Structure 1
Amino acid sequence: MSWLIDPLSTDFVVRAALGGMLVAVICGVVGTWVVIRGMAFLGEAIGHGMLPGVALASVLGLPLIAGAAMSALVMSAAIGMLQRRGRLSYDTSIGLLFVGMLSLGVIIVSHSRSFATDATAMLFGDILAIAPGDIVLLVAALAVTLIVTAAFHRAFVAAAFDRRIAQTLGLAPHIAQSALVGLVTLAVVVSFQAVGTLLVVGLLIAPVVAARPWAQRIPVIMTLASGFGVAAVLTGLLVSWHVGSAAGASIACSAIALAAASALVRGAVDRVRRAEASHRSIHGREPATPVSPPSSILERP
């Protein structure tokens, strides 16, 4: 068991594990809605939209998280403004801002003498550098995420079906959409330290993909996704420790591997159940019925 205990003997790995688990829970909760609402491109755009602020903070010697937050807020506000004007589609607006902010970030970083080091930290994060103050920030971010998610749960579900229904029920879909974009922005910003801008979408999506075949209800999916995310963080840190690979990339790859494994196991379970049902039908015990995963995760909110 030394391979499991040795990494935990160092303070920075313990802080990385704790911070990574907090990030995993935040991404598990927010990522559920990202997958349900098809907002993965928005998450990726906000992640890359943070680059100018992070780059500027790096060049000026300011806290990177502050630069990331300001740049992400500007990105979110610009997307909302273009969306309200109605002249461009949602995807087109995001695409234009995505490329523009990414290019601006690279231009700013190119003026830094440590361009390669800065770019690597921005794109892939540095979870092993998480400090006690970052843990406090992540705890606060998790509390905000849970409160907003609980407060807007009915509005999120109704808007996922039909915005007009949500409006008729008095659930203010426009406010709910703004709240959801705010949650995605918060999740991306606080995840920046752990996995960087390039890999944050993997931590938002992969654990949810791993959880969806095993649950119908949204709260259950959030719980399972958080668990898969925590497992990905711990696995990634262990791989990074023993193999010497980048911690953020190892975590993202672990999350994707868990999603693939979950799909394979779910498929195997379904095949076994169908075979058992067919066997019972042949012996006249009961009619064979197909076994398939839930058709919609929104049937029982």
Structure 2
Amino acid sequence: MLDDLLAPLQLAFMQRALIGGILAAAICAVAGTWVIVRGLAFLGEALSHGMLPGVAIAGLLGWPPMVGAAASAAVMGAGVSALSRRGRLSGDTAIGLLFAGMLALGVIIVSHSQSFATDLTAILFGDVLAIRMADLVALAGGVIVTVALAAIGHRAFLALSVDDRIAGTLGLAPRWAEAGLIALVAVAVVSAAQAVGTLLVVALLLGPAAAARRRARSVTATMAGAAVIGTASVVVGLLVSWQAGTAAGASIAIVAVGAYPIALILTPRRSRAAAVGPVARLPIPEGTT
């Protein structure tokens, strides 16, 4: 009797999780493609975990967690750009320094408040089955903003991926293009991590895009393929979670990550060589050559 009463409620949770997961997959497909093309995987992970101090401070002040997450992401992005330019550090070194510092600061803040114990787990691992309508609205807004940023910066991002000197020669302001690319990844991470946690965001950011890149011959095709693979990962992960009683977010994440070795096995050798060649082989829009 109790199971019959709970079934509709469980179905509603699964439906919201499915919609939210698909929206997160769309966001991550757009940003994740540029993460793969530009080799910014470490940045995506650092941004997702570096949001902790902002979320903790927002919780202490009674503000929405997304406000704190956005503030932390903005600080991380600005810091990476500043350290790379003025500190003469490599991008990875700048990201690593800020990642360690922000994460340590977040742990210090959290350690002074026992009330964050459960929230911290939700931030890191997420609970896709607990997605609310407000989260779906935020995710839909994230899709719109991410797609808009990618469309506006597409020409500059592509030229930057080929050679930053080309971007400068074409008057595309490579420094601003780099900052815009960091902002794109930050928007994707913040909007998706709020609903599904940082673990699932990193998995959806890297796995589907890397798998799609095995066959795709353009940035746009990679984004489309990543969106399809990400959506499939969400569906399969939720089904596995439902049937096996495993954690939904982790199930989706393992399927998303597993998409890459599957794509590697299924991709013919010739197609593989063509798809993963130098970024310079990517077609540049008319007017950028």
Q: TM-score range by the shorter chain?
A: 0.7 to 0.9
Query: Equivalent residue for 1:100?
Result: 101
Gaps in structure 2 of 5+ consecutive residues: 1-6, 284-289
Answering whether residue 178 of structure 2 is matched by residue 177 of structure 1, we say yes
Query: Equivalent residue for 1:231?
Result: 232
Answering whether residue 273 of structure 2 is matched by residue 293 of structure 1, we say yes
C-alpha change, 1:110 and 1:150, in structure 2 (3 Å) is: same
C-alpha change, 1:49 and 1:9, in structure 2 (3 Å) is: closer
Q: Tell me the alpha carbon deviations over residues 3-45 of structure 1, each in whole angstroms, 9 at most, x when there is no partner.
A: xxx8997222211111110110110111011001000111111
Name the amino acid aligned to 2:11: T
Q: What is the rounded CA distance, in whole Å, between the counterparts of 2:24 and 2:114 in structure 1?
A: 31
Q: Decide which moves more: 231-240 or 36-45.
A: 231-240
Return the TM-score normalized by structure 2: 0.88
Cα drift, residue 195 of structure 1: 3.4
What are the residue-to-residue correspondences of 1:19-98 with 2, within 5 Å?
A: 19-98=20-99
C-alpha change, 1:45 and 1:9, in structure 2 (3 Å) is: closer
Are the counterparts in 2 of residues 211 and 228 from structure 1 also a CA contact under 8 Å?
Answer: yes
Query: Equivalent residue for 2:244?
Result: 243
Q: What is the rounded CA distance, in whole Å, between the counterparts of 2:83 and 2:167 in structure 1?
A: 23
Q: Tell me the alpha carbon deviations over residues 224-259 of structure 1, each in whole angstroms, 9 at most, x when there is no partner.
A: 001101111111122222222222211111101222
Name the amino acid aligned to 1:205: L
Query: Equivalent residue for 2:112?
Result: 111
SS of 2:213's equivalent in the other structure is helix
Query: Equivalent residue for 1:15?
Result: 16
Cα drift, residue 87 of structure 1: 3.2
Gaps in structure 1 of 5+ consecutive residues: 1-5, 271-289
Q: Decide which moves more: 84-93 or 142-151.
A: 84-93
Cα drift, residue 291 of structure 1: 6.4
Are the counterparts in 1 of residues 199 and 253 from structure 2 also a CA contact under 8 Å?
Answer: no
Q: What is the rounded CA distance, in whole Å, between the counterparts of 1:94 and 1:207 in structure 2?
A: 23
Q: What is the rounded CA distance, in whole Å, between the counterparts of 1:16 and 1:92 in structure 2?
A: 36
Query: Equivalent residue for 2:218?
Result: 217
C-alpha change, 1:107 and 1:207, in structure 2 (3 Å) is: same
Q: What is the rounded CA distance, in whole Å, between the counterparts of 2:216 and 2:208 in structure 1?
A: 13
Query: Equivalent residue for 1:254?
Result: 255
Q: Decide which moves more: 124-133 or 17-26.
A: 124-133
Answering whether residue 131 of structure 2 is matched by residue 120 of structure 1, we say no
Larger Rg: 1
C-alpha change, 1:235 and 1:114, in structure 2 (3 Å) is: farther
Query: Equivalent residue for 1:129?
Result: 130
SS of 1:293's equivalent in the other structure is helix
Cα drift, residue 164 of structure 1: 1.0
Query: Equivalent residue for 2:201?
Result: 200
C-alpha change, 1:297 and 1:222, in structure 2 (3 Å) is: farther
Q: What is the rounded CA distance, in whole Å, between the counterparts of 1:45 and 1:297 in structure 2?
A: 24
Cα drift, residue 113 of structure 1: 2.2
Cα drift, residue 194 of structure 1: 3.8
Q: What is the rounded CA distance, in whole Å, between the counterparts of 1:84 and 1:300 in structure 2?
A: 27
SS of 2:214's equivalent in the other structure is helix
Are the counterparts in 2 of residues 216 and 298 from structure 1 also a CA contact under 8 Å?
Answer: no
C-alpha change, 1:198 and 1:55, in structure 2 (3 Å) is: farther
Name the amino acid aligned to 1:293: A
Cα drift, residue 59 of structure 1: 4.0
Cα drift, residue 298 of structure 1: 4.6
